[in-house]
Structure formats: structure tokens, C-alpha cells
Amino acid sequence: AQTVTQSQPEMSVQEAETVTLSCTYDTSENNYYLFWYKQPPSRQMILVIRQEAYKQQNATENRFSVNFQKAAKSFSLKISDSQLGDTAMYFCAFIQVQGGSEKLVFGKGTKLTVNP
Amino acid sequence: DAGVIQSPRHEVTEMGQEVTLRCKPISGHDYLFWYRQTMMRGLELLIYFNNNVPIDDSGMPEDRFSAKMPNASFSTLKIQPSEPRDSAVYFCASSLGDIQYFGAGTRLSVL
């Protein structure tokens, strides 16, 4: 079974600084996708960034970037120039396309607080 | 598009009552998912549909839970009878491809 592990239950960072959230996953498959979702206090789940496993280039979305290490099964999220609005729960997620079905597996989440 | 729409936003009910949660997926999406989020268990996939057909309901906790998708634009998750341990946030998500888009969730409190 696929699993996703986020080893940091909580983190904090000062506004304008950089923070990295860790994620590791376990799979025996070669083709899959990885995601980071953000859940602010409003509880809406918002897609932050997506990585295709067959692409070596790390995905980037504005201030958000990932460090994807396929051999190590690691998928960390870097947030640059942190803003107060980045305060949220961050979930790492994995999806493996198998036989046409798509089941998303989530980690337990990291609570990030950005301090003024 | 308005995104995935869930109703109600909050639901408070008493133990033993029937609860129905509703979801309208994004138009054109062919997959629909129901999740439950609790502090103890995190996000759990309950059931998902492809083209209105249930594909995997192995996450449904017990027979008190049922889900339907009568057409491409509507799905329901029903709990009958409800119990206090069903208190959680229930999310609906839809997708066309690998990215799932979530609704705002329904916070259910069973007293």
C-alpha cells in the first residue's frame, strides 16, 4: 500500500523568510503524481503545486517550489518570502494511476504558522 | 466555473437522525470523491465514482453510510442513523485527470 509521511507536525517561520516542509512516500510503482495542498483556517483544500514523477525538473509556482528526489522518494515544499496568508495546514499527497482508477493518499499534514 | 459546491456548510444533528450531505461537482469532471477529515485519522477516502458509477467504496466505515450519484452533476452522502463518532468534516472533490478539486466541506456535528 502507498503511504505518505510528513514528519513535521508543526512549523513556524518569520514573515519574508523561507521555510521547507518535508514529505516522503512509499511506492513500488514508477508512474505517479505528487501534490501539495494547502488548507487555511477556512478549511478549503487548495492545490499549491503538482509534480509528475516522470519529469526530473522540479515544479515551481511563484513563491512555491518543490525538491523532488525520486530515488529517495522525497518531495519537499519550499515557500520563499513567506506571507501571513501562508499560515495553514499543508498536506502532501500522492496519486497512482492504476487501471483507470485514481486514489489520492494524503499525509497527516504540517501546520505552518507565519509570524509577523 | 463555480468550483465544487457542497451543502450544507454546517450540520448539527442529534444521534439517530438521518443526515444527507450534497455535492455538485465541476461540470465536465468524470470522477467524484467523498472524503472525511478528523483530527485522529486525517483525510480518509470514503468512496469514489467514475461517470456516476461507484468504483471503490472500501473506505465507507459501515452500512450506516451510503452514497449515490444519480447524474453527472449531483451526489449525496447519507448517514443513517448518525452517531457522535461520525462528527467530522466531509469533503467532496471532483477531477478530470489527476488533479482533484475540493469543495469547501461540510462540518457535521452529531450530538
Count interface pairs A-B at CB distance under 8 A.
Answer: 44
Average pLDDT over residues B38-52: 93
| The pLDDT value given to residue A101 | 54
User: For residue A103, which residues of chain B lie inside 8 Å, CB to CB?
Assistant: 45, 48, 56
pLDDT digits (tens, 9 = 90+) for B16-31: 999 999 999 999 999 9
Instruction: Give the per-residue pLDDT at A31.
Output: 84
Q: What pLDDT is recorded for position A106? A: 92
Which cell goes with B81? 442513523
Of B45, B89, B107, the CB nearest to A103: B45
CB-CB under 8 Å, B95 with A43: no
Give the pLDDT score at A98.
Answer: 62
What value does the mean pLDDT take over residues B85-107?
94
Contacts of A5 (CB under 8 A, 6+ apart): A23, A24, A25, A26, A107, A108
Per-residue pLDDT, averaged over A54-81, amounts to 95
Name the percent of chain A lying above pLDDT 90: 75
Torsional class of A112: left (φ above 0), alpha (ψ -120 to 50), beta (otherwise) = beta
Mean of per-residue pLDDT scores for chain A: 92
Mean per-residue pLDDT for B68-73? Answer: 96
pLDDT mean over B49-55:
94
B82 contacts B110 by C-beta, under 8 angstroms? yes
CB B51 within 8 A of CB B30: yes
Q: What is the pLDDT of residue A50?
A: 95
User: Is the minimum CB–CB distance between A103 and chain B shorter than 8 Å?
Assistant: yes
> Per-residue pLDDT tens for A82-110?
999 999 999 999 987 665 557 888 999 99
Chain A residues 7-46 with CB within 8 Å of chain B? 33, 35, 37, 42-46
Q: What is the pLDDT of residues B28-40, one digit of tens each?
A: 999 999 999 999 8
Taking an 8 Å cut-off on Cβ atoms, the answer to whether B104 and A44 are in contact is: yes
Question: Residue B1's pLDDT band (boundaries 50, 70, 90)?
Answer: low
So what's the pLDDT on residue A26?
92
A22 has a pLDDT exceeding 90: yes
* Torsion angle (degrees, nearest 10) of CA A14, A12, A7, B88: -130
**C-alpha cell belonging to residue B15:** 444521534
